[in-house]
Structure 1
Amino acid sequence: MKIAVLAPIAWRTPPRHYGPWEQMASNLTEGLAAAGIDVTLFATRDSITSGKLNTVIPKGYEEDREADAKVLECLHISNLMEQANQFDLIHNHYDFLPLTYSALIRTPVITTIHGFSSEKIIPVYQKYNASGYYVSISNSDRHPSLNYLSTVYNGLRTEEFDPGTGQGDYLLFFGRIHPDKGTAEAIQIALKAKRRLIIAGIVQDVNYFKEKVEPYLNDEITFIGAAGPEKRNQLLGGAIALLHPINFEEPFGLSVAEAMLCETPVIAFDRGAMRELIKDHETGFLVKNADEAVAAVEAINTIDRPGCRVWAMRNFSQKKMAEDYISLYHRILN
């Protein structure tokens, strides 16, 4: 079985700091390779994989702002599609655009839908509903008009996450600085709970950062920017809890699974996939608002930290994700 994995090209695969779709394309590729699958990753030239790498794009368009993203997209996707007959199956992690090639090739295309940027993209998915194979990353993130082959949760390289103790005695916000992610809400929770807060992530909305985050920064509320894998483990493991007060229906939430792998419980607003990721009162707390989050902070010592890791290892590992997808590949090809 020869599989082509089509990664996004905003960032390197795997990303240096941010790039969740690239991270999942990488984790899947490495999981397939470890399982003995003949896998080729289509990604940027600086990408790293133990499988084969096929590329025509030097570096991600978010890392080379002189590049034209649409031009790179066309070159990248067409490069794979023109070689489609060399593969038994194409696994698309690049959203809806590659679907527009799928009726022109014989190789089946399975698409992991990592979320919907807008209702406006749905017609493309609908057009290929009967011929494509769609996989959701959570049961909560399914569009009623689409047919799904299965749900496969994102899988992490569990060996890269170390158990922590929470002895840093701080709350952590770990994610992009954007209204959707609730950075401002995390600050208010920390202030009301009278706890130290560390904020880590890329600034995706500059005005939001300047208006809702920067005025509150001091010795107790600190912003450290993006954090790579080594810093990530230290931050997550040292936190008493991860604050995840999202303001949108989040399809998954990688930082939630990452925190639990570091034995750190999560306090999250009960939206999107949070009910699927968090066992309420066992690996964290699902809350409705900031006041409930403050109460959860006070009760955080009732959570068994090692139990958080056990839950995450069982449900959100790279190995499980790869096994689930290999099973789907066989269903499609047989």
Structure 2
Amino acid sequence: MSAADPVKTPVPIRVAMLAPIAWRTPPHHYGPWELATSVLTEALVARGVDVTLFATLDSVTSGTLAGVVPRPYNDDPAIDAKVWEMRHVAHVMERADRFDIIHNQADFVPLAFSRMIATPIVTTVHGMPSERILPMLREYQHDVDYVAISTTDRSPELRYSATIPHGIQVETFPFGAKPVRELLFFGRIHPDKGTAVAIRVAKAAGVPLRIAGIVQDQRYFEEEVRPHIDGVTVRYDGPLGGADRLAALGSAMALLHLIDFEEPFGLSVVEALACGTPVIAFRRGSMADIVRDGETGFVVDTAEQAVAAIGQIGRIDRTACRADVLKRFSADRMAADYHRLYGDLLARKAMAGHRAGVSV
């Protein structure tokens, strides 16, 4: 190449990022799928990827925002979830030829379009699929590239192209070097999340408990949680967002994550660790993947072991908690993994087209 020849700048990969529409992207408070979608979108844009975020029209992104759904259906009863989800997905698929990759973060409905378009679809499977959903995922597993979000959250009945854990923007989570003598429960108020168990464990340990999160099961809240709220030993602050959320995550001596289901990931666990707050979690789902037992917290099997772990929490180095998140769960690491996967899929598509004698 002579000095006069222009230097060719690589053309960015064009990605259609398909978000759910239950909440805004990113959510104001609760909305783990929307939050993960937002973090990935912003990190990909920072890497030079051309991302169009298809989300509710009140969403916010540094990429290009597109969509047809005015507001999340959880915020507006006039938004019929089924009707608007179909419009939302169709809006993306009708424009499929404008993109190199469609990244589906919105569950199983988009899979039905995969054989109708030429654009590869990457689907992040945000949780172990139930027996009701598995028939759909099994049917399209050779047409769509599935990504698991933890090593334990991989169905033996499905083919996955990669395991890519979620990441967070660690720099937005301030380090809490001086915690108060208080435990934290952070998440939706629901039996699956073990709010009542956290209350019993905290009381047995003699340490105050702060609860933050949306009430997802009102009867459970009224019967198992509210009777214990006295503002001293147990207090409930509702769904926290913004600076209040960060302060809560960073000021606790430990996060109690005593779940009663196979949780696929657990963003609040990683966020607490990023703030330096160790985690005490039941050995369910991805918890043993995320929490390094004895190093960034304790992974236990019983409530009694959780109580004992609270007494040992001073052994955990809070700087080690943050360092582990920086190494394993940063947004940039997640974006780099997905960027690499996109490139691999496009190379595979090009090779298939070359073998068939078709220009792609």
| TM-score, normalised by the number of residues in structure 2 | 0.92
Give the Cα separation in 2 of the matches to 1:239 and 1:299: 15
- Measured after TM superposition, the shift of residue 166 of structure 1 is 4.5
Give the Cα separation in 2 of the matches to 1:313 and 1:203: 31
CA contact (8 A) 1:189 1:294 kept: yes
Match status 1:257 vs 2:257:
no
- TM alignment of 1:164-313, pairs within 5 A: 164-218=176-230, 219-313=232-326
- TM alignment of 1:48-59, pairs within 5 A: 48-59=60-71
Q: 1:11 to 1:18 in 2, by over 3 A?
A: same
Question: CA offsets, 1:54-106, max 9 Å, x none?
Answer: 11011100011222110110110000000001000100000111001111111
The corresponding residue for 1:47 is: 59
Moved more, 207-216 or 158-167: 158-167
The corresponding residue for 1:113 is: 125
The corresponding residue for 2:155 is: 143
Question: CA offsets, 1:141-167, max 9 Å, x none?
Answer: 111110001100101011110000343
Q: Secondary structure at the match of 1:208?
A: helix
Q: Percent identity?
A: 52
Give the Cα separation in 1 of the matches to 2:301 and 2:130: 25
The corresponding residue for 2:35 is: 23
Q: Secondary structure at the match of 1:39?
A: strand
Give the Cα separation in 1 of the matches to 2:136 and 2:129: 13
Give the Cα separation in 2 of the matches to 1:306 and 1:221: 28
The corresponding residue for 1:88 is: 100
The corresponding residue for 1:5 is: 17
- Measured after TM superposition, the shift of residue 229 of structure 1 is 2.7
Give the Cα separation in 2 of the matches to 1:59 and 1:117: 27
Question: CA offsets, 1:282-333, max 9 Å, x none?
Answer: 0000001110000000000000010000001111111000000000001100
Question: CA offsets, 1:264-284, max 9 Å, x none?
Answer: 000000110011101000000
Give the Cα separation in 1 of the matches to 2:173 and 2:146: 30
Give the Cα separation in 1 of the matches to 2:129 and 2:157: 16
CA contact (8 A) 1:166 1:264 kept: no
Give the Cα separation in 2 of the matches to 1:18 and 1:306: 27
Instruction: Give the count of matched residue pairs.
Output: 334
Q: Secondary structure at the match of 1:56?
A: coil
Q: 1:20 corresponds to which letter in structure 2?
A: P
- Measured after TM superposition, the shift of residue 29 of structure 1 is 0.7
Structure 1: unaligned runs, 5 residues or longer: none
Q: 1:158 corresponds to which letter in structure 2?
A: V
Q: 2:130 corresponds to which letter in structure 1?
A: S
The corresponding residue for 1:130 is: 142
Structure 2: unaligned runs, 5 residues or longer: 1-12, 348-360
Q: 1:268 corresponds to which letter in structure 2?
A: A
Q: Secondary structure at the match of 1:10?
A: coil
CA contact (8 A) 2:24 2:55 kept: yes
Which residue of 44, 50, 59 corresponds with 1:38? 50
Q: Secondary structure at the match of 2:236?
A: strand
Q: 2:94 corresponds to which letter in structure 1?
A: E
The corresponding residue for 2:175 is: 163
- Measured after TM superposition, the shift of residue 117 of structure 1 is 5.5
The corresponding residue for 1:14 is: 26
| TM-score, normalised by the number of residues in structure 1 | 0.99
